[in-house]
Structure 1
């Protein structure tokens, strides 16, 4: 593999601010629109940034371990979820993995991390692979990941002489589930499979995505893998502000705020989906989280997204997820939704006028 071969894999697509700055109304990320959580923000603002954190993160790992009901030694700190995705993919490659199994539609860093380490990327469940990814609920569709049920049934297994399968469950959106059966209650849900790595990124749930900090819970009996992952990390992967965020994450007041915010997000989501339907968009059914996908009524979606961005509104083009012609929308407050309605109608009206004035339609010579 050459450097040239890696270029397409490194062309990541993200939501949030871009070269045009911060969108006035940003539907392109899945951050909790009720945030930021004031208690967590105050903790971050009050972080002691004049000195290094404890390099072993002793107190932090104890707090996170207690929150999840596991020994502190099973907690691995990470600079971000994306950083951990790359680090555990490196571990899989070191263990002899030759494949990475991904959900059909999924976050780009899973594939990027695999490709730059020479692993073949396969999509779908039930595939023999050295590294398997799942996301619960999934992104971008917000559905239950079918792999999770399979993992619950058979745990970590050996497959056809391959090295031990590394299974990683991305729990980024577990705290933002809005369905009554699986809604967050202030503690990690017991129904998540334990015989896999669980990757947690609280910054989305707390509305503080600019603070890059994450952690993973190792499955029982993974002491050697934990030691290797710690050895693969740089010194102090999480800075003082990230430590403050993660310490705040486990506080009862912060969890109470999060649980309370979910009822508001449910109301906003229902209103936003109705708005999309009113605009003539096809809304993908079944989303369990604070985001969903829709197919706008447009034959020139890329141009329309550019026009919306110029009007201060950003949607997440889902082409990079394998869903061309589709956008993912994080749930925002009614004021943002109303702005989207007005902007889309203006864009659609402009498109109609342009079509009527085009030479092909008027019969003028080209």
Structure 2
């Protein structure tokens, strides 16, 4: 009898906890550092986990539809943004898509979902014979995605999806979140929303998408591809809380704090001799640390309880992405970095490939 070898899962790089546990100071994710939102947290904690949710999510879809000013038939629930990315890619492939266009630097699941289905990936972010992705603001750089201007000016392609994960965490100066979906977003595309980042509750996996006007049939097709109850009771509670005016008021207050923290954190990085990537509109930014040993430096920081996001896998070698954290975390980063040996000028050599989150 032949004994099969060990089954190895592909490793996807992500921010947040890892095999070493939960970092004391975690700059590697883009979660709202002012969180968790107290009202949303109470709603999640009070969720009735002894019963199934409504399999049609009737009340939740009505609430989300009212929040966005669309009919409930345009709302598609998802277990997470990543789950939806794979599901809409599968449907696009079923309907004849042969290519997927992704931004040059972007969340890795866009490309990974295409590659596992044998679709060509165009990393220019341009037009594709099938599925096109954009993210507003972009990750990891936090810039406005140039695809938005194109999408506003021309007819919608069969499959265009705007990842709105960071729209509620946009700090401005232009287009900052106001407590409601902003009007500048193009409507003739799918919008994918994941409020758990804005509410500081990334451990609750729940998301939803809004179909373009007149695409209710596609919404039904996507719903048919989902498993039963893709969102559990805790996810339902989070998404319901997201629509509450008091939760939005908390978010707006937190954005004012994040603006101050971001300015302080960027100044601290400059004091360390790091070169910043300019133009970030969000609660995160990228920087080029002054070191020739970035990988070993990041490992040393992780061993001391501080985690940064290596951006090599985004196609940005010698670069880190930093979520904005509170001043105490910033000071810990400064002290830990200055304690590392061999502080030198920028010019590290880094290797790696593949797009990641």
TM range (shorter): over 0.9
Within 5 A, what are the aligned runs for 1:47-58?
47-58=47-58
What residue in structure 1 maps to residue 18 of structure 2? 18
Alpha-carbon deviations, 1:163-196, whole Å to 9, x = none?
xx30000000000000132110000001100000
Whether 2:261 is the aligned partner of 1:264: answer: no
Alpha-carbon deviations, 1:191-235, whole Å to 9, x = none?
100000000000000000000000000001112211110110000
TM superposition shift of 1:129: 2.7
Structure 2 portions without partners, runs of 5+ = 1-6, 345-357
Q: 1:8 to 1:151 in 2, by over 3 A?
A: farther
Determine the C-alpha separation between the residues in 2 that align with 1:236 and 1:112.
24
Contact between 1:268 and 1:331, CA under 8 Å: does it hold in 2? yes
Which protein has the larger Cα radius of gyration, Structure 1 or Structure 2? 1
Contact between 1:33 and 1:333, CA under 8 Å: does it hold in 2? yes
What residue in structure 2 maps to residue 129 of structure 1? 129
Alpha-carbon deviations, 1:261-282, whole Å to 9, x = none?
1010000000000000000000
Whether 2:207 is the aligned partner of 1:219: answer: no
What residue in structure 1 maps to residue 353 of structure 2? none
Contact between 1:171 and 1:198, CA under 8 Å: does it hold in 2? yes
Whether 2:155 is the aligned partner of 1:155: answer: yes
Contact between 1:27 and 1:316, CA under 8 Å: does it hold in 2? yes
Within 5 A, what are the aligned runs for 1:228-247?
228-247=221-240
SS of the counterpart of 2:36?
coil
TM superposition shift of 1:352: 5.8
What residue in structure 1 maps to residue 342 of structure 2? 351
TM-score when scaled to structure 2?
A: 0.93
Alpha-carbon deviations, 1:117-144, whole Å to 9, x = none?
1110001233333000000000000000
SS of the counterpart of 1:351?
coil
Q: 1:236 to 1:152 in 2, by over 3 A?
A: same
Within 5 A, what are the aligned runs for 1:310-325?
310-325=303-318
Q: 1:338 to 1:190 in 2, by over 3 A?
A: same
What residue in structure 2 maps to residue 361 of structure 1? none
Determine the C-alpha separation between the residues in 1 that align with 2:46 and 2:126.
47
Determine the C-alpha separation between the residues in 2 that align with 1:128 and 1:206.
34
SS of the counterpart of 2:291?
coil
Within 5 A, what are the aligned runs for 1:267-346?
267-346=260-339
Higher helix share: 1
TM superposition shift of 1:320: 1.0
Contact between 1:140 and 1:318, CA under 8 Å: does it hold in 2? yes
What residue in structure 1 maps to residue 241 of structure 2? 248
What residue in structure 1 maps to residue 31 of structure 2? 31
What residue in structure 2 maps to residue 364 of structure 1? none
Determine the C-alpha separation between the residues in 2 that align with 1:248 and 1:29.
22
Determine the C-alpha separation between the residues in 2 that align with 1:290 and 1:129.
33
Larger mean Cα displacement after TM superposition, 10-19 or 24-33 = 10-19
SS of the counterpart of 2:30?
coil
Provide the alpha-carbon RMSD of the alignment.
Answer: 1.4
Determine the C-alpha separation between the residues in 1 that align with 2:62 and 2:217.
19
Determine the C-alpha separation between the residues in 2 that align with 1:50 and 1:126.
47
Determine the C-alpha separation between the residues in 2 that align with 1:261 and 1:287.
18
Contact between 1:199 and 1:217, CA under 8 Å: does it hold in 2? yes
Contact between 1:9 and 1:116, CA under 8 Å: does it hold in 2? no
Determine the C-alpha separation between the residues in 2 that align with 1:295 and 1:89.
34
Q: 1:113 to 1:140 in 2, by over 3 A?
A: same
SS of the counterpart of 2:111?
helix
Determine the C-alpha separation between the residues in 1 that align with 2:53 and 2:276.
45
TM superposition shift of 1:112: 0.5
Residue-pair matches, total = 338
Hey, which bits of structure 1, 4+ residues long, moved more than 3 A? 7-10
TM-score when scaled to structure 1?
A: 0.91
SS of the counterpart of 2:342?
helix
Contact between 1:10 and 1:112, CA under 8 Å: does it hold in 2? no
